[in-house]
Amino acid sequence: MIDGASIDRHHWVPKSQGGRDQAPMHRVCHKKIHAVLTEKELARDFATPDALQSHPEIARFIRWVQRKPPEWNTRHASPRR
């Protein structure tokens, strides 16, 4: 990751679900997570890096995005709400 605009802070358990722990994450990955999973799903089933990587759609995305340059950024679908 490159410091700057391509980095977000991801709460492992969403703040709306009482989470506090957070980590830096590439913005495009952060957007994808929130486009695929609801905050309740994140809190209940995907509150760790290993759990997130076990989700089939997220795992597929990670394999795809690893081939992009670190500064790469794009839009994603709106989160499911």
Is residue 23 one of the residues assigned to a domain? yes
Stated as kind and residue range, the H or E segment containing 22 is: strand 22-26
Is residue 60 one of the residues assigned to a domain? yes
Is residue 74 one of the residues assigned to a domain? no
Is residue 29 one of the residues assigned to a domain? yes
**Count of structural domains within the chain:** 1
DSSP 39-51: HHHHHHH--SHHH
Q: What is the pLDDT along the chain (81 residues), one digit of tens a residue?
A: 556 566 788 889 888 888 899 999 888 899 999 999 999 999 999 999 999 999 999 999 999 988 988 777 766 555 555
Is residue 73 one of the residues assigned to a domain? no
Is residue 48 one of the residues assigned to a domain? yes
Q: What is the pLDDT of residue 7?
A: 79
Under 8 Å CB-to-CB from 10, ≥6 apart: which residues? 22, 23, 24, 25, 30, 33
